Amino acid sequence: MKKKKIDFMVTAFRDGFQSVYGARVFTKDFLPAVEAAVEAGIDHFEAGGGARFQSLYFYCNEDAFDMMDQFRKTVGPDVNLQTLARGTNVVGLESQSRDIIDLHAKMFKKHGISTIRNFDALNDINNLVYSGQCIVDAGLKHEVSVTMMELPPGAEGAHTPEFYMEVLRKIQESGLKYDSVCFKDASGTSAPQKVYETIKQARAFLGDDARIVFHSHETAGTSIHSYKGAIEAGADQIDLSMAPVSGGTGQPDLITMWHALRGTEYDLGIDIKKVMKAEEVFKDCMKDYFMPPEAKSVEPLIPFSPMPGGALTANTQMMRDNGILHKYDEVSAAMGEVIKRGGYGTSVTPVSQFYFQQAFNNVMFGPWKKIAEGYGKMVLGYFGKTPVAPDPEIVKLSSKQLKLEPTTRIPIDINDEDPNKGIEFAKKTLKENNLKITDENIFITATCKEKGIAFLKGEAKIGVRKIDPDAVKKDNSAPSAAPASGDYTVTVNGTAYNVQIKDGKAVVNGTAYNVDVKEGLSKIETAVPAPAKPAASVPQQPKSAAPAPSAGGAEEVIEAPLPGLVLRVEKNVGEAINEGDVIMVVESMKMETEIHSPVSGTVKEIPVNNGDQIVAGDKLAVIQGGGSAPAQTAPAVSAPAAAPVSSPAPVSAPAPAAAPAPVSAPSAAPAASPAASQGTENLEAPLPGLVLRILKNPGDTVEEDEIVMYVESMKMETEINSPFSGVIKEIPVNQGDQITAGDLLAVIERS
């Protein structure tokens, strides 16, 4: 009996990288594996898009367009290279204007791509029509998508076969041209029987000539069953990966699927021995990369908190970066409620990130005390219509916190009216930074914003977890010495701790400690050693020994409230500042957090620079207050300031450790520590992240609630506001600094 050939796309070099390594892979390392796969007869690859576009600029200091060019050169002219686009977001951090969406299709066509899969996480057809038409007009194959997932138990109203057929009918009625339809289950949570029923109904609706594709992940452990169901229901193509980035959070392995179809009427049409050889080449290419343990495991609870494989490891990698991986289980558990109350958008980028960010905020700040900007805008309608109406209470709360009214306007129309979006704004930004204006640079600027500019200026940083074999050889040949500095994974009784040692400080899972490391053993004088306690558990007294206030008022030290990167320093030393003014913006977990001045005064010191990596408690600024009013009582710094760390070591598993206490205040304002004297306030980072933009300088005056800086954490921007009017005395962080919760962000003196 002649078997039916089932087509497949190998996702290893995009979704595989994103699902396992957080998309952080150098181009030169994997191209030999691509070449081996082509030699094995594979002729369809996912080659970019999704988070892989941004990650090359954010973490690899590489150009995504150059990567695509090298990919095309490696595979030759006839292989189908495909990328992933998110409707109106395309591959950006946020929803884009029409001219950037059109430029996306043209640039990807120019750089060797032949097919683009286009999806919208809300399944809102208004977000697919224009972006899809641009793909068609550019001469690319267009694969339109319907996004799927399983709702948490007890939830209903969407994500049934009937719901997906209604989306498909709307696509047909819109007149949108496409070459294939993909049913995309990024979290891998759809029940296999639902997959079967959905594909069966789609085949009946579209007819025999339509090309139907199914995409899933192994995260919940049911992807092989779902793939077999899709094939039996009439799917023409499935997505598969290759070891070492198959299974777990990724797609099933090509070899595994080949085995699952043995003895059936279906066949993948591969030479299994050649594929096995290609996978050995691929494993060798990736042998020096850190393999997160969560990337290789099945998570039985994922249907209760749907998280795409491509987002799961990206989030755990970011949490490792910021020393808060021990919070992952809590954040994951909080996602169920966030999904239920948010309108049931599919848990796929960017909505999956909105869910994770809101769950993150609910854990770090208290339930619904701080609405994540992306999540809030989603429930308010700024990204399109959610499958069901969001919880009215959450809509009201989002409107109040974000100061936005709900809308029913089409997102792309809103974007076109935004003066900070589009080609002209990108050109202006390039000119301001003395950068060449090209189509590629325009697109990089529009989609990657400050980090894109940093790359173009040669200021990008490397954030790839990969062993350097040459460094290992050098270390092995050198005499053993005490580790005075470096990144380490320390496992105690089976619990792994992320430890960074530098300049007499040890940062353990984001909490800083004073340490003194010496070679050899010293005599311990204490008869019975007391258990070590984290610095955060020691009550701190007001700093009475601090310098006395000058004639202009008391000094205010602002500390980083969270680990991250100083993204933008907005103020300069000597500049007047008002209470509430933004001093700088910190990025953490891909969220921007503003660091505000708590007082009006003058910026006396900013000991950090744009791009600096910071941890919680780091000094960001010192502000000389304009008066001597009594300081407000506020929580003390949770940990001593620690030296900036460029990149944390990998942690093999979520580790319970000392962590910043959740902030219960309803705003993103940093904690203000007791002042050294009357009127001085320390602004501390409320969560780990990156200093994104600093809006104020030492010496600037600030008004109450004025933005001091923005901090980015988990792909969210958080404003750091001043709790009162005054003068910025100090900003000890810089744009781009990585910070941890409790880091000093600014010192503000009350006016």
The Cα 109–Cα 115 span in angstroms is 9
The total of structural domains in the chain comes to 1
> Stretch 531-551: mean pLDDT, rounded?
34
Residue 505: closest CA among 310, 621, 641: 641
Residue (of 720, 730, 515, 487) closest to 608 by Cα position: 730
Q: Give me the domain span that covers residue 633.
A: 537-750
Q: Which two tokens stand for residue 509?
A: 């899972």
Phi and psi dihedrals of 210, rounded to 5? -70, 145
Using 50, 70 and 90 to split pLDDT, how confident is the model at 589?
low
Q: Is residue 668 domain-resident?
A: yes
Whole-number Å distance between alpha carbons of 190 and 662? 33
Task: Using pLDDT thresholds of 50, 70 and 90, give the confidence band for residue 526.
Answer: very low
Q: Do residues 415 and 97 make contact, with C-beta atoms less than 8 angstroms apart?
A: yes
User: Is the distance from CB of 743 to CB of 711 less than 8 angstroms?
Assistant: no
- The pLDDT of 483-505, averaged and rounded, is 59
Residue 666 in any domain: the answer is: yes
Interatomic CA distance for residues 633 and 646, integer angstroms = 33
Note the pLDDT of residue 649. Answer: 33
Q: Residue 310 domain-assigned?
A: no
**3-class SS at 326?**
helix
Tens digits of residue pLDDT in 15-54? 999 999 989 999 999 999 999 999 999 999 999 999 999 9
Instruction: Identify whether 525 is part of a domain.
Output: no
Question: To which residue do tokens 């007869």 refer?
Answer: 41
544-547-551 Cα angle (round to 5) = 120
Residue 391 pLDDT greater than 90, yes or no: yes
Whether 377 maps to a domain, the answer reads no
DSSP 165-225: HHHHHHHHHHT---SEEEEE-TTS-S-HHHHHHHHHHHHHHH-TTS-EEEE--STTS-HHH
Residue 627 has pLDDT above 80, yes or no: no
What's this model's pTM, rounded to 2 decimal places?
0.71
State mean pLDDT over 78-83.
Answer: 99
**Encoding tokens for residue 364?**
């770090």
Residue count of the chain: 751
CB 683 within 8 A of CB 744: yes
Q: Are 534 and 660 in contact (CB under 8 A)?
A: no
Answer whether residue 261 is part of any domain.
no
Measured in degrees and rounded to the nearest 5, phi and psi for residue 500 equal -120, 125
Position 131 in a domain = no
b/e string for 639-657 if b means 16 or more Cβ within 10 A? bbbbbbbebbbbbbebbeb
- Interatomic CA distance for residues 48 and 116, integer angstroms: 10
Assess if residue 123 is contained within a domain. Answer: no
